[in-house]
């Protein structure tokens, strides 16, 4: 059934492309320490972050290309810049020590007890952006949007599938953040460290791949 396979491919394109870049596992410790141990706060904050991420992803897919055209920026340049940022994030994660941003967030969360309203206000910055949907995610989402067909009927159908794929993506993010405390408790300190370093290496590789794709497009290199 070619039609079904094409639909599934288009549906899974967004989560399979964005989830490795978003890497919510690496942000789970920050989310857990920000939300605390209250299950209701965890649920509310995870839901709000998921909603924020959906709007960022869908907005980048649908209007990102037009914004680039407005400023005269080509997609290969966005890929190179986004890949550079992704690779830099992975490199920083690999070299993080006790004084990195995560540890700073730990100290702040232990020192200050945030109210629920403050937690909701912080759902966008820094958890949604830049920890979950950073520049690399936005660049990748714009690239997905640029590949959508331009005929109105096909564009509407493809955009609807992409929006559904974005929904799948943020549901997975919600579930991971919602159960971040349980996940980190089961992994332990060593397991969390190993997982974070592994994800950081994969993120570095993904960033280099994105940069190479943009460079190849600029120079007309075919694989």
**For 165-183, what is each residue's pLDDT tens digit?**
999 999 999 999 999 988 8
Residue 81 located in a structural domain:
yes
Q: Which residue has the higher pLDDT, 99 or 220?
A: 220
Residue 220 located in a structural domain:
no
| C-alpha closest to that of 33 among 101, 92, 84, 79 | 101
Q: Return the exposure string of 118-157: e unless at least 16 CB atoms fall within 10 Å of the residue's CB, then b.
A: ebbebbbebbbbbbbbbbbbbbbbbbbbeebeeeeeeeee
pTM (2 decimals)?
Answer: 0.75
Whole-number Å distance between alpha carbons of 52 and 27: 15
Residue 4 located in a structural domain:
no
Domain span at residue 205 reads 11-215
Per residue in 141-168, pLDDT (tens digit) is 988 998 888 899 999 999 999 999 999 9
Please tell me what DSSP assigns to residue 122: T
Residue 154 located in a structural domain:
yes
Residue 1 located in a structural domain:
no
Q: What is the pLDDT of residue 111?
A: 36
Q: What is the pLDDT of residue 29?
A: 79
SS3 182: helix
Residue 3 located in a structural domain:
no
Spatial contact of 161 and 105, defined as CB atoms under 8 Å apart: no
Angle between helices 24-35 and 152-178 in degrees, nearest 10: 50
Total count of domains within the chain = 1
Between the alpha carbon of residue 19 and those of residues 42, 55, 101, 129, the distances in Å are: 21, 15, 22, 14
For 187-210, what is the mean pLDDT?
78
Per residue in 12-71, pLDDT (tens digit) is 999 999 998 888 887 887 788 777 778 888 898 999 999 999 999 999 999 998 888 888
Q: Which residue has the higher pLDDT, 126 or 63?
A: 63
Residue 221 located in a structural domain:
no
| C-alpha closest to that of 119 among 24, 53, 33, 182 | 33
Residue 45 located in a structural domain:
yes
């Amino acid at each position: 059934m070619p039609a079904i396979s094409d639909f599934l491919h288009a549906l899974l394109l967004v989560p399979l492309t964005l989830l490795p870049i978003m890497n919510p596992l690496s942000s789970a410790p920050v989310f857990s320490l920000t939300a605390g141990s209250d299950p209701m706060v965890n649920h509310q904050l995870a839901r709000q972050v998921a909603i924020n991420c959906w709007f960022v992803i869908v907005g980048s897919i649908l209007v990102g290309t037009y914004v680039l055209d407005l400023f005269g920026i080509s997609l290969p340049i966005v890929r190179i810049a986004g890949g550079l940022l992704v690779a830099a994030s992975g490199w920083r994660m690999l070299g993080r020590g006790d004084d990195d941003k995560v540890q700073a967030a730990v100290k702040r969360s232990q020192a200050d007890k945030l109210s629920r309203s403050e937690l909701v206000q912080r759902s966008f910055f820094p958890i949604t952006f830049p920890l979950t949907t950073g520049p690399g995610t936005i660049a990748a989402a714009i690239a997905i949007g640029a590949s959508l067909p331009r005929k109105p009927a096909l564009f509407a159908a493809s955009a609807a599938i992409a929006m559904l794929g974005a929904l799948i993506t943020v549901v997975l993010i919600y579930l991971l953040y919602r159960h971040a405390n349980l996940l980190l408790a089961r992994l332990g300190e060593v397991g969390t460290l190993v997982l974070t370093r592994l994800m950081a290496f994969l993120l570095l590789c993904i960033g280099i791949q994105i940069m190479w794709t943009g460079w190849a497009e600029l120079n007309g290199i075919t694989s």
